[in-house]
């Protein structure tokens, strides 16, 4: 088991996701819509753009990476990728549910799918890099060149 900064970094990144997903934080109100109605909308939604697809896929990948790395580094070797992907997917689901109460935000099932996929890809990358020893090599490099005992 390793000392890791992945847990606090994952928490900070999750807070950034909440900020980005719910900004602006004003105008909250019930709009007479069920919060889960976006789940039944047809895919793809009529208003998607390439930027939306890319940002939603890439935006959650660091969260998946950090969560999986934190789990792997604290001894959760079995299922770390799946637990990290589940946590990121649940965060995304919560953000989409809450966006129904913000008039300037539009909840989207495509966003949910892409966020979940991004989290899974980030978690998978962390598991692969950990298995190949790349994370340990990075820690050694960083310790030699920047901060001793850095992890």
pLDDT in tens, 57-112: 999 999 999 999 999 999 878 899 999 999 999 999 999 999 999 988 889 999 99
**Residue 81: per-residue pLDDT:** 97
The average confidence (pLDDT) of the chain is: 90
**Residue 59: per-residue pLDDT:** 97
In this structure, what are the phi and psi dihedrals at residue 82, rounded to the nearest 5 degrees? Answer: -70, -40
Q: Are 116 and 36 in contact (CB under 8 A)?
A: no
pLDDT > 70? residue 148: no
Residue 85 burial (C-beta neighbours within 10 Å; 0-12, 13-18, 19+): buried
Instruction: Give the confidence band of 45 by pLDDT, cuts at 50, 70, 90.
Output: confident
Maximum Cα interatomic distance, the chain, rounded to a whole number of Å: 58
pLDDT > 60? residue 151: no
pLDDT > 70? residue 36: yes
pLDDT > 70? residue 37: yes
Question: Would you give the DSSP letter of residue 74?
Answer: T
- The tokens describing 86, both together, are 């589940």
**Residue 117: per-residue pLDDT:** 98
Closest CA to 81 of 132, 129, 134, 121: 121
How far does CA 40 lie from the centroid of its chain?
23
């Amino acid at each position: 088991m390793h000392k890791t900064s992945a847990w606090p970094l994952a928490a900070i990144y999750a807070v950034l996701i909440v900020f980005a997903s719910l900004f602006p934080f004003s105008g909250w109100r019930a709009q007479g819509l069920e919060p889960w109605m976006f789940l039944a909308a047809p895919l793809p939604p009529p208003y998607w753009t390439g930027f939306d697809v890319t940002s939603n896929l890439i935006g959650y990948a660091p969260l998946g990476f950090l969560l999986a790395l934190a789990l792997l580094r604290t001894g959760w070797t079995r299922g770390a990728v799946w637990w990290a992907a589940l946590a990121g997917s649940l965060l995304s689901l919560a953000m989409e549910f809450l966006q129904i109460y913000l008039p300037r935000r539009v909840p989207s099932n495509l966003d949910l799918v892409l966020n979940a996929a991004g989290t899974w890809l980030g978690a998978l990358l962390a598991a692969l890099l950990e298995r190949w020893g790349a994370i340990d090599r990075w820690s050694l490099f960083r310790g030699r060149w920047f901060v001793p005992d850095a992890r």
